[in-house]
Amino acid sequence: MIKIGIELNNVVRNVNKQILKYYQKDIKPELDIDDIDEKDDVFKYAKFDSLTEKNDFIYIDFPFEIFGSAKPMSKELPMLMNNWLSELTNYEEDEVEISFFSLDEEALTIQSSYFFLSKIGTRVRKIVFPKDISEIKNDYDVVISGNKRVIDYFKDNDEVYTILIPNETTSGCVATDEYDSLDNVIKDEKLLEKLQEFVNNKNNKNNVNG
């Protein structure tokens, strides 16, 4: 089996746009968010005096607006995901399991994430809300993320194939592969061959060492 974990934030779900939108609405009306690239570090623009103030904004004041009301990263992504899932059921080489994961979620953000997933009509069967990255270290063969913490965590783990969706905050990250968007990951007709080869090599190595 090839187990693929896809991080929600800024890979599937555009939380950066929502953070900017509600920061402008609630804190800084003069902020021109139309001129900000959503792949920038949004906290250069959405500035807070303390971590507590930032967390209150995200987790108490606007959890539904940020996590639930966000749009997918592209209009066609939900359709692409569902078509991909359908195609994977016919993949003859091995079974492929897709799941979502999302870090740093709690209470209201979790239920908001379920709303987001229902809204985009996803057919992914599994989602995980780990309290720490280490909780998923043995869950996946492949990790798709736009999160520096995640990519850096797995960079020395040769049993995980990392796919980076880059943004300003991931500058300097080293991943196994890189794509501009999840859309392009899905559209890459050679991807499964690369992943299958990776998993086969990993299993062969483990069998020899075992």
| 55 Cβ neighbours under 8 A, 6+ residues apart | none
What are the residues facing 4 on neighbouring strands? 98, 142
Whether the per-residue pLDDT at 208 is higher than 80: the answer is no
Give the pLDDT confidence of 141-183 residue by residue, as tens digits: 999 999 999 999 999 899 999 999 999 999 899 999 999 999 9
Tell whether 197 and 150 lie within a shared domain: yes
Tell whether 93 and 117 lie within a shared domain: yes
Using an 8 Å Cβ cutoff, are 127 and 102 in contact?
A: yes
Given this model, what pLDDT does residue 209 score? 66
Given this model, what pLDDT does residue 113 score? 97
The total number of structural domains that make up the chain: 2
Q: Which residue has the tokens 């187990």?
A: 3
pLDDT class for 202, splitting at 50, 70, 90? confident
Domain ranges, residue 64: 15-68
What global pTM score does this model have? 0.93
Whether the per-residue pLDDT at 60 is higher than 70: the answer is yes
Query: Of 69-78, 171-180, 198-207, where does mean pLDDT reach its minimum?
Result: 198-207
Tell whether 123 and 24 lie within a shared domain: no
Tell whether 33 and 126 lie within a shared domain: no
pLDDT class for 94, splitting at 50, 70, 90? confident
